[in-house]
Amino acid sequence: MPRAIKEAYRKGTRSPDGRPGPKYWQNRGRYNIAISALPPDRIVRGSEQITYFNNSPDTLNNPVFKLFVNIHKPGAPRAFGATPDYLTSGVQFDSVTVNGVTVPWQVGPRTFTSQRFRLPTPLLPHDSVRLSFKWHYQISLSSNREGMIDSTTWFLAYFYPRVAVFDDYNGWDTTDFTDLQEFYSDFNDYDVSITVPANYVVWGTGHFMNPSQVLQPTALERYNRSLTADQTINVASLAELRSKSVTAQSVTNTWRFHADNVPDVTFALSNHYVWDAASVVVDPATNRRASVQAAYNDTAADFRHMVRFAQHGLDWLSRNWPGVPYPYEKTTVVEGFAGMEYPMMVNDESYADTVFSRFVVEHEIAHTWFPFYMGINETRYAMMDEGWATAFEYLIGTADVGREAADDAFKQFRVSGWINDPSPMEDVPIITPADGLLAPYGNNAYGKPALGYLALKEMLGDAEFRRGLHGFMDRWHGKHPIPWDMFNSFNDITGRNLNWFWNSWYFSNNYIDLGVGSVTKSADGYSVVINNIGGMPAPVDLQLGFTDGSNSVVHETAGIWAGDIRRATVSVPTSKTIQSLKLEGGIWMDADTTNNRWARAAR
Ligand SMILES: [Zn+2]
């Protein structure tokens, strides 16, 4: 446990049983944002008022601000190279006030996406500060997580200056956004208005406040009907957008959205994207529905099914795994290039293979719970963001396409890149702060932690695993849990000391390699010794062939490694004679299968 985390337990902000401590606190903000985006002018102009509440016991002198779109500035630190189309001059401040008093923005020559700002007077504990910013930036021609999808379709994400997270175990989050790692955000309230040219539609996070002001009657009627409809309704077609019969015909329209207690807001705007919508019951107990929308190019054949795919995702994930009702009132899937999640928004590519389109959108929707509902520090603990989304992606995939196809896809996308790469970079412990990773980021964030969660589910059984997962989620949703809160909660709720499991999966350089030690005759069958060469507590199938030509499979969960992480003895009760034995890990792929087989010696 790092010293700063030990200190959080000592201070009582976190509790050793896995709950938030008696002294737990977190800060929050109220954001009032007005944006204007008037293509073909590429300048996005914004004005915002932030009321930031300091709930911490600390006096804050130098808050950190996140200016994510500064990643487009020449010289910004990046995980990847930048093409000329990617570069812009970044965020330009037109005015800054603190508690109503104009102050200059303080820019260091070598600071980009994360910048400190000295307040004229310190922000005392349990006090608040009012900040206002007027800023503008040029939207990037090349689009990934944000930017121009095409000249008249823009994806606005990370577009507003925000106060970085200040927390109890790390202080200010000063990490730079390099386009590899993801985000860490407080739960804030947002009022956002977006002014666009008359014929543009805006989709985004939060409750759509003024549909009757910006939509013409037919589109309005369809939109309203979609909020309780099961079947997909086309709210606006390309032809209707071209004939200017969708949006109110003034020079510009201002679209308004409101969301409380969300970690971020994101918007898309277009003058030609097709708009589909329906809804789905996400909470069977109350019959609460969520709106499901899609926005896409008329040419994207897979997106014609996207509302249905997303309805299925919301439904299945709400009822099965994680099995917590979808916590928002809507989601919108926008065709772009990102494969990226945002609260109530998804930005996904169009694919020729609709099965893959569904797979990707299910993964992005799964992120609603981890990281958004759970307030994960994605930048540092990607294992709790991508790791959980990848585990849920596998579980819903199993329901969609069957175990065999889901296993094949999971092995190919999520496991083989790790297990078949013996580089020391690939076996760094999963707990390693992800903001320090480059090469091993992907496997440490996605496949490896997901394999651990899925091994845990199998070992505990669904009912016990659900109790642990839901208990942890109940304790921490809307807060900022760290891996130790999750491990301790599972231990506490299940009443088991699972530290041997956590240690091997998340805190070690272990990998998966099991080998047959010995096969010996016992009183009622056989005793099989399995060596755990790689040290990871993985489940395993013993595929048995008998001398009479019959076969059988004995499955063992990761529980066989609870007593001794290096060696397990498995009893195989049988009256038959074993001819051959093979260890098969399934999705828990084995790094070295040459030691997985045993055969009776020929006589
Ligand atoms: Zn993801």
User: pLDDT tens, 367-403?
Assistant: 999 999 999 999 999 999 999 999 999 999 999 999 9
User: Of 424, 397, 430, which Cα lies nearest the Cα of 411?
Assistant: 397
Distance CA 274, CA 299 (A): 10
Distance CA 182, CA 382 (A): 8
User: Of 39, 11, 41, which Cα lies nearest the Cα of 24?
Assistant: 11
| pLDDT at residue 440 in the model | 93
pTM above 0.95, yes or no: yes
- Say yes or no to pLDDT of 107 above 90: no
User: Of 112, 26, 33, 122, which Cα lies nearest the Cα of 76?
Assistant: 112
User: Mind listing the pLDDT tens digit for each residue in 332-372?
Assistant: 999 999 999 999 999 999 999 999 999 999 999 999 999 99
User: Of 49, 81, 52, which Cα lies nearest the Cα of 64?
Assistant: 52
- Say yes or no to pLDDT of 195 above 70: yes
Could you tell me the distance, in angstroms and rounded to a whole number, from the CA of residue 96 to the centre of ligand 1?
35
pLDDT bucket at 603, cuts 50 / 70 / 90: low
* Helix, strand, coil in percent for the chain, rounding step 5: 30, 30, 40
User: Mind listing the pLDDT tens digit for each residue in 303-332?
Assistant: 999 999 999 999 999 999 999 999 999 999
Cis peptide before 371 (omega within 30 of 0): yes
Could you tell me the distance, in angstroms and rounded to a whole number, from the CA of residue 370 to the centre of ligand 1?
9
Backbone φ/ψ region at 179: left (φ over 0), alpha (ψ -120 to 50), beta: left
Burial (0-12, 13-18, 19+ Cβ within 10 Å), 108 = exposed
Could you tell me the distance, in angstroms and rounded to a whole number, from the CA of residue 31 to the centre of ligand 1?
26
Could you tell me the distance, in angstroms and rounded to a whole number, from the CA of residue 369 to the centre of ligand 1?
11
Could you tell me the distance, in angstroms and rounded to a whole number, from the CA of residue 341 to the centre of ligand 1?
7
3-state secondary structure of 222: helix
Distance CA 418, CA 391 (A): 16
Please give the structure tokens belonging to residue 155: 């994806």
Please give the structure tokens belonging to residue 131: 């900040």
Give me the DSSP letters along 249-315.
-SSEEEEEEEEEEES---EEEESS-EEEEEEEEEETTTTEEEEEEEEE-TT-GGGGGHHHHHHHHHH
| pLDDT at residue 80 in the model | 94
Could you tell me the distance, in angstroms and rounded to a whole number, from the CA of residue 539 to the centre of ligand 1?
25
- Say yes or no to pLDDT of 116 above 80: yes
Distance CA 296, CA 292 (A): 14
pLDDT bucket at 601, cuts 50 / 70 / 90: confident
Average pLDDT estimate for 128-132: 98
Could you tell me the distance, in angstroms and rounded to a whole number, from the CA of residue 495 to the centre of ligand 1?
31
pLDDT bucket at 106, cuts 50 / 70 / 90: confident
- Say yes or no to pLDDT of 108 above 90: no
Q: DSSP character for 568?
A: E
Could you tell me the distance, in angstroms and rounded to a whole number, from the CA of residue 456 to the centre of ligand 1?
20
Average pLDDT estimate for 140-167: 97
| pLDDT at residue 109 in the model | 81
Could you tell me the distance, in angstroms and rounded to a whole number, from the CA of residue 388 to the centre of ligand 1?
9
Distance CA 473, CA 488 (A): 13
Identity of the residue numbered 451: L
Within 13 Å, how many C-alpha atoms sit on residue 15's CB side? Answer: 15
Average pLDDT estimate for 451-463: 98
- What is the Rg, in whole angstroms, of the alpha carbon atoms belonging to the chain? 26
Could you tell me the distance, in angstroms and rounded to a whole number, from the CA of residue 516 to the centre of ligand 1?
36
Average pLDDT estimate for 289-299: 98
Cis peptide before 327 (omega within 30 of 0): no
User: Is the Cβ–Cβ distance between 420 and 434 less than 8 Å?
Assistant: no
| pLDDT at residue 211 in the model | 98
Kindly report the number of other CB atoms within 10 A of residue 8's CB atom: 24
Average pLDDT estimate for 480-501: 98
Could you tell me the distance, in angstroms and rounded to a whole number, from the CA of residue 362 to the centre of ligand 1?
10
Buried b (16+ CB within 10 A) or exposed e, 356-369: ebbbbbbbbbbbbb
- Say yes or no to pLDDT of 163 above 90: yes
| pLDDT at residue 36 in the model | 98
Q: What is the mean pLDDT of the chain?
A: 97
Could you tell me the distance, in angstroms and rounded to a whole number, from the CA of residue 326 to the centre of ligand 1?
17
Could you tell me the distance, in angstroms and rounded to a whole number, from the CA of residue 344 to the centre of ligand 1?
14
- Say yes or no to pLDDT of 435 above 70: yes
| pLDDT at residue 345 in the model | 98
| pLDDT at residue 582 in the model | 98
